[in-house]
Structure 1
Amino acid sequence: MCAGARSKGAACVGGATRSKRVPRAVREQQMLDAGVRAFARSGYQNASMDDIAELAGVSKPLVYLYLHSKEELFTACIRREAAALVTAVRAAVERDAPADRQLWSGLSGFFAHTAEHPDGWRLLHTQARTRGQPYALEVAAMRAEIVEFVKQLIGAAARERAGGAPRARGLADTEVSGLAHALVGAAESLADWAGDRKAGGPSAKEAAATLMNFAWAGLGNLLRGERWPPERTG
């Protein structure tokens, strides 16, 4: 009996079998995986702790023991997915490449991650934002970090175009900040579209190329000092 138990990954103690304990960190990740899936697909209100426990393959009391409440589980899921997205974008950037390659690789990393983790993206961009504070603040903090990172990339592009000068052709800090916010907002919208492949949404690479072409062409004009004057509409 013990020999058969060992073949199934169980320990034998005094002629009886006992399942090996799963490390707490592994169990918590299983619960978070289940939580992300349930919250993203069913919404916060409709996702029950019973469903999450079943998806994770654990008992409901164990979920409460580890993560205490539905609210804390929801927060933990948001924080994990936000950190993973920021890490993916930063890791994707080709640090020593020209400015356009850095921006392209960052966009590619963003769209690749959201395509590979659709439940995580849906949790961040839809469920957390519509649930109110403090969940929306968690997403806002993630977004601010990505915006700041994009500002650095745009600033690097400006310096590269100006031959290393601190400022390029009058590209003000407010313009850099505005461009970063616009680029991140556009990426978020495109990620939603790309995630809906049934409706003809593009692949991650196609989405990145679309935004890169739109953004880089416009940014290139700004860096050359070519601006669209509002007075033309008068």
Structure 2
Amino acid sequence: MPRAVREQQMMDAAVQTFGQRGYQAASMDDIAELAGVSKPLVYLYLNSKEDLFTACIRREAKALLTAVAAAVDARLPADEQLWAGLLAFFTHTAEHPDGWAVLNRQARTHGEPFASEAAQMRDEIVAYVGTLIGAAAKETHRATHRDPELAERDVAGLSQALVGAAESLAGWANETPGMTAWESAATLMNFAWAGLGNLMKHERWSPR
């Protein structure tokens, strides 16, 4: 078997083991057994347990970011772009629950360097969502000939809020029997877009 294929096989086993058992409880013996290889071979290919876990975080983060970006067509209206991105996000996290557990739960709770790797992935998603929100504001401006430009701080805050909500909802959805990716995306879209759509038109809510 080619080295690259064998390595991915071991990484698959590692993601499953880390995702289901947690970083502390997972052992290299468990990973080797699941991959059908010897423990020395795992060490030879992927070095230490820490290095292996870091490699898993990076691989799963790249796969998630790629899936979301590939789903969004810049030629679509802003709301459909956001919908496509959310649906891709929830589809990927539902189809790869162990990978999502590694990214969203394990990496964040075991200190450095894992937390920094997870934070970098999150920053990239937040930045990407920010581009979608910024594009939506510009699209509304062209359509209405009004000036609904959002301040950079507004875009950053909205992006953080939307990504945080998506992360929380994905974790809940993966633990809720029968909850589909479509339902999750629709839930967040209905929660967020009504407010975002009004905000693009400068129809802001404020306390009385």
TM-score in terms of structure 1 length: 0.85
- Structure 2 residue aligned with 1:213: 190
Alignment pair present for 1:163 and 2:139 = no
Does the Cα contact within 8 Å between 2:71 and 2:88 map onto a contact in 1?
yes
Cα offset for 1:170?
4.7
**Quick check: 110-119 or 217-226, which moved more?**
217-226
- Structure 1 residue aligned with 2:204: 227
SS of 1:162's equivalent?
A: helix
Partner Cα distance (1:121, 1:173) in 2: 29
1:100-145 per-position Cα deviation (integer Å, ceiling 9, x unaligned): 1100000000000000000000011011100111101001000000
Alignment of 1:67-216 (within 5 A): 67-163=46-142, 168-198=147-177, 202-216=179-193
Partner Cα distance (1:168, 1:117) in 2: 41
Measured on the aligned residues, the alpha-carbon RMSD in Å equals 1.4
Cα offset for 1:168?
3.9
Does the Cα contact within 8 Å between 2:134 and 2:150 map onto a contact in 1?
no
Partner Cα distance (2:81, 2:147) in 1: 18
Q: 1:176 to 1:168 in 2, by over 3 A?
A: farther
Cα offset for 1:169?
2.1
Question: Match of 1:175, as an amino acid?
Answer: D
Q: Which has the larger radius of gyration?
A: 1
Question: Match of 1:149, as an amino acid?
Answer: Y
Partner Cα distance (2:55, 2:122) in 1: 17
Structure 1 segments unaligned to the other structure (5+ residues): 1-21
1:69-112 per-position Cα deviation (integer Å, ceiling 9, x unaligned): 11101101111001000001101112211111100000000000
Partner Cα distance (1:98, 1:229) in 2: 27
Partner Cα distance (1:146, 1:164) in 2: 27
**Quick check: 22-31 or 168-177, which moved more?**
168-177
Partner Cα distance (2:47, 2:200) in 1: 52
Partner Cα distance (1:147, 1:45) in 2: 29
More helix by share: 2
Structure 2 segments unaligned to the other structure (5+ residues): none
Partner Cα distance (2:23, 2:118) in 1: 16
- Structure 1 residue aligned with 2:45: 66
Partner Cα distance (1:170, 1:60) in 2: 56
Q: 1:197 to 1:129 in 2, by over 3 A?
A: same
Question: Match of 2:188, as an amino acid?
Answer: L
Could you say which structure has the greater relative contact order, defined with CA pairs below 8 angstroms and 6 or more residues apart?
Answer: 2
